[in-house]
Structure 1
Amino acid sequence: MIAFWIILTGALVSVTCGLLGCFLILRKMSMVGDAISHAVLPGIVIAFLLSGSRETLPMLLGAGTTGLVATFLIEFFHRRANLQTDASIGVTFTFFFAVGIILISAFAGEIDLDLDSVLYGEIAYVPIDLWVIADGTVMGPRPVYVLTAVLLIVVLFIKLAYKELQLTSFDPAFASALGMSTALWHYLLMAAVSLTTVSSFESVGAILVIAFLIGPPATAYLMTHDLKLMLAITVGLSVFIAFTGYWLAYWLNASIAGCMAVMTGFCFIAAFVSRRQSQKHSLTEGEEPVG
């Protein structure tokens, strides 16, 4: 049963991150998840200073707020200062992370308050983080319910806004000509990414979230140029990675998160090699006979 809960948690996070990651890949913003993972630090500190508690809810609210502010600033610098997206991401997350370090050293220097202790989780602990209702009934791991709710929100968002997300990702100029607000849909997508990453950090850890946000959609991108098929392949890869990553960790007696991230890399390499072989085969068959 422990294996089931861990694999299910990994699959929920991977699928949710992967679906949003498809649109980040198309927008050349795949590292925004890494930016959010650093930018949440001042939000955690401020939430602790205001609440005096390290409970999950205030930590997530603080982290989510600064995550949204960071994504807003990334787009603001990109549009207003004409910075490249990667430069905007780099400037924003280093600033926020530095502010968080200053706040910790100035106001919480003697308190065990950092990303590892209050937000970055370990997927192996999911089966013991139980949701117990008032009458003492154990409903199962709490993160599973949280992550299921987030997945449903993301799927509903993509289903309702598929056309807008597709157009603003592939051709923002054409979307603007049709009267769509590219900025609005960008911020809505970033809000979904921020919600997903912050809610997932506590359960599986930041590195695994970033791997899931980039790996499966990047692999799917190598396999198809059809967005709907790309989303479908991403979902299948996400479940496969969660399953095989857990059993690889079990076989090696190693880190579960590490093995899931490694399987993400293996899938990408396999897709890359397969694509290269397919291209070589196509070129060979298309060659004109000599003489």
Structure 2
Amino acid sequence: MMIEVLFVLIVTAMATSLLGVFLVLRGMAMVTDAISHTILLGIVLAFFITNDIRSPWLIVGASLIGLATVYIIELVSKTELVKQDAAIGFVFTALFAIAIILVSKYAGNVHLDLDVVLMGEVIFAPFNRIDILGFSIPNALWQLSIILLINIAFVTLFYKELKVTSFDPKFAYIAGFSVAFMHYALMTLVSVTAVAAFDAVGSILVINFFVAPALTAYLLVRRLEAMIVLTLGFAVLNSVAGYCISFYFDLSVAGTTAFVALGTFMVVFLFNSKGLISSRLQKMQQKKAFSRAMILMLLNEQSNQSLAQKDILTHFNLSTRQFKRHIDRLMRNGYIEKESGTYKLTENGEEFTRSIRLKYELPA
């Protein structure tokens, strides 16, 4: 049964993150956050009509409310009276508040309780099962697997359209692509996927499953194909790591997986080739290399005369520690040598300074 929990988690992460790639590229992460909350209203209204928490009409109701959320946000923001972020905040909180009121007032004794709605609990997924071809599998795994296949088919069939409308919607419109159709088709699938993921991760954490793997991949690659593959890889990695950590420390599976996704993102954000820490380290190395080059240029200007330590220290305003670090590095590289307490260029040092002058077109 525990391995089924892992499978549900992995399929959930893959189904959501695949669409998350295009949400990130379109700058629609917060719209997804709005949808993930407001679809609760569609679930509640459909539940009141069907009185069946497992009815497929819940997905239909959630999808319609998800599309209505997108439409209302665009309608409000197009008036130019408020900005899009303000429209998102107003619309989704209003619709979500209505859903919370209805759940707390009329659905407190059924599965639609606030804790499950907000937090989700994938560990309960194996208790609700369905028979498929003689095999008993979790209903959530069955539903999410179908949705994953639908999402894969959608991305495969409309890959070119999704790529063009995501990167350059104006060109896509001029070229004859149906920008509106692709937009609302994507939002429909986002709504359907979000409601299917409700039991597993809840309305709060689902935005992490949509966006975090895609954002992590976006920091590493720029080609769409590579970004999709890497996103799915991060989704699986986060799920497996979150599953193992949560069971070892007895934590929420979905919450731990979301936290692992945050950790994965932060590692990439800080240490990739253009990351925060990597950039700082690169700038420090460039500064050191510049200082060493300037020392060599100073020695080269002395017409093969050597300089004492105090001359170099005074000229560049270096500390003794900085001087020793630079000189040791230059001597290890064979650019300078020390004779009778003074320093002068070697043949390699003279050749290196000539290459610097040529590279930056400095006067000889």
More deviation in 10-19 or 38-47?
38-47
Structure with more relative contact order (C-alpha pairs < 8 Å, separation 6 or more): 1
Cα 1:115/1:69, change in 2 over 3 Å = farther
Cα 1:80/1:228, change in 2 over 3 Å = farther
State the partner residue of 1:163: 160
- Indicate conservation of the 8 Å contact 2:36/2:206, yes or no: no
Taking the aligned partners of 1:110 and 1:193, their CA distance within structure 2 comes to 27
Structure 2: where are the runs of 5+ without partners? Answer: 298-364
State the partner residue of 1:177: 174
The normalised TM-score by structure 2 is 0.71
For residue 260 of structure 2, the aligned residue among 256, 263, 277 is 263
- Indicate conservation of the 8 Å contact 1:121/1:205, yes or no: yes
SS in 2 for 1:254: coil
Taking the aligned partners of 2:145 and 2:89, their CA distance within structure 1 comes to 31
> What is the aligned-residue identity percentage?
37
1:86, CA displacement in angstroms?
2.3
State the partner residue of 1:51: 50
State the partner residue of 2:189: 192
- Indicate conservation of the 8 Å contact 1:246/1:256, yes or no: yes
Residues 1:248 and 2:242 are matched in the alignment: no
Root-mean-square deviation (CA, aligned residues, Å) is: 2.6
Taking the aligned partners of 1:109 and 1:153, their CA distance within structure 2 comes to 31
Structure 1 ranges of 4+ moved more than 6 A: none
Cα 1:128/1:53, change in 2 over 3 Å = closer
- Indicate conservation of the 8 Å contact 1:6/1:124, yes or no: yes
Taking the aligned partners of 1:143 and 1:132, their CA distance within structure 2 comes to 12
Residues 1:234 and 2:231 are matched in the alignment: yes
Amino acid at match of 1:186: H
Residues 1:24 and 2:30 are matched in the alignment: no
1:231, CA displacement in angstroms?
0.7
What's the CA shift string for 1:89-140, capped at 9, x where partnerless? 212212212333455578x387655454579641001222211369xx5521
Amino acid at match of 1:218: L
State the partner residue of 1:132: 131
SS in 1 for 2:29: coil
What's the CA shift string for 1:165-213, capped at 9, x where partnerless? 1111111111111112222211111111111111111233223321111
- Indicate conservation of the 8 Å contact 1:54/1:118, yes or no: no
More deviation in 179-188 or 51-60?
51-60
Alignment of 1:217-232 (within 5 A): 217-232=214-229
Cα 1:222/1:47, change in 2 over 3 Å = same
Cα 1:117/1:26, change in 2 over 3 Å = closer
Taking the aligned partners of 2:157 and 2:125, their CA distance within structure 1 comes to 31
1:8, CA displacement in angstroms?
1.2
Amino acid at match of 1:146: Q
1:153, CA displacement in angstroms?
0.4
